[in-house]
Amino acid sequence: MLDALQRLPDDPILGLAAICREDSNPNKVDLTVGIYMDESGVCPVFQAIQQAQRTLVEEETTKAYLPPAGDADFNRGMRALVFGGDSDALAAGRVSSIQAPGGCGALRIGAEVAYAAKPDARVWISDPTWPVHLPLIGSVGLEFSKYRYYDAVSHGVDFDGMVEDLKQAGKDDLVLLHGCCHNPCGADLSLDQWQVIADMAEHQGFIPFIDIAYQGLGSGLDEDAAGLRLLASRLPEMIVAASCSKNMGLYRERTGCAMFLCESADNADAILSQAKVAARRLYSMPPAHGAILAGKVLSDEQLGRIWREELLAMCERINGLRSQLVDSLQASTGRDFDFIRRENGMFSFLGLSEANVRQLREEHSVYMLGSSRINVAGVNASNIDYLSKAIAAVL
């Protein structure tokens, strides 16, 4: 039976990263996978997480399963982090949550619950979006439509196109929105634009499905959640998938949370029961380690303060890298790259052709996706000049 299956191609991002690892050029530059790298090119462990981990090792007395919904401190902390500690919806008990294996698991749980509620619901996704959105959500059985989002000419949000397309979203359709730091383009909605989306959702009855994987890496924890919180203050229902991979560095620990804003506390409890059944069907019980660490950080005042300071420093470094990259590219190429400075988070489209990207890889060992999407956090003082001169050479 198994010998009838053919080899499938590697994931385009992970496969390209693997080719880069095998490249022997000491000057190679890896801008592929969306992982935060420090100035030395290492994905660091947060000090707050290290302290929480030491405490866990000292205090842990069992490896028994967590409850089906996951670690209680983690769930409580994530709801407050995303919706805000002063959220009226939280105070009314209208938000339920379940721990999931990473933001990917949270997206899948959200899709499972949506499918259980309305199997013929359509999911509207931005063009472009993170490619893994499609298999994570589509494999449940939900159908997709695209809405315009990125304008390659202005290097910003095509909001008029977005609004025009979303006028077709029907009642109980899902509109997948990036909460902040859009992956892959880095162009985010303004608060005024979030307000327009809230107006449309109220009028048309569609349900926002928000993927917030980079909270804290754009402008700050509260600033990055402002659009989501605006929607939560006005709408009866919303689905949220949150991740701790980036803002706590818990990539390999697969620590995420699916949250459901509902019309009432009773409805929130009912939806949680649906989410737990879906989780049982998919992976049975949640992983413990990462969620317990995150829960400790979110529930402990001192650890929380240390973490917020670390995250702020990371955010400021990324924004600083954007400015440095703009200056370096413009000095090397004589072209306008100022749009990079206006974007948020870890990603940007450089606006290069696929031929440019291929030439960068083959002649200069500079690795980025064929769309010219780069991970800004892969840039550092030791490679920025080489990168800029390589780009100038292919242009």
Active site residues: 130, 211, 246
* Structure-token match 């979110």, residue found: 298
Q: For the purposes of burial, counting CB atoms within 10 Å of the CB of 346, is it exposed (0-12), middle (13-18) or buried (19 or more)?
A: buried
Rg (alpha carbons) of the chain, rounded to whole number: 21
Helix axes 289-299, 72-83, angle to 10 degrees: 60
Cis peptide bond N-terminal to 9, omega within 30: no
Asked if 150 and 128 count as a contact pair (C-beta separation under 8 A), the reply is yes
* Structure-token match 């985010």, residue found: 188
Q: Across the chain, where does the E strand assignment appear? A: 29-30, 95-101, 122-127, 143-148, 150-151, 156-157, 174-178, 207-212, 238-243, 255-261, 347-349, 366-367, 373-375
Q: CB neighbours of 2 closer than 8 A, spacing ≥ 6?
A: none
Helix axes 191-204, 159-166, angle to 10 degrees: 10
Q: Record the tokens describing residue 340, joined without a space.
A: 């990079």
Asked if 386 and 365 count as a contact pair (C-beta separation under 8 A), the reply is no
Helix (H, G, I), strand (E, B) or coil at 103: helix
Helix (H, G, I), strand (E, B) or coil at 204: helix
Q: Record the tokens describing residue 377, joined without a space.
A: 């956090």
What's the length of the chain? 395
Whole-number Cα distances in Å, 61 to 57, 58, 128: 9, 9, 46
Cross-strand pairs, 143: 122
Asked if 256 and 243 count as a contact pair (C-beta separation under 8 A), the reply is yes
Q: Determine what percent of the chain falls in helix, strand and coil, rounding each to the nearest 5.
A: 50, 15, 35
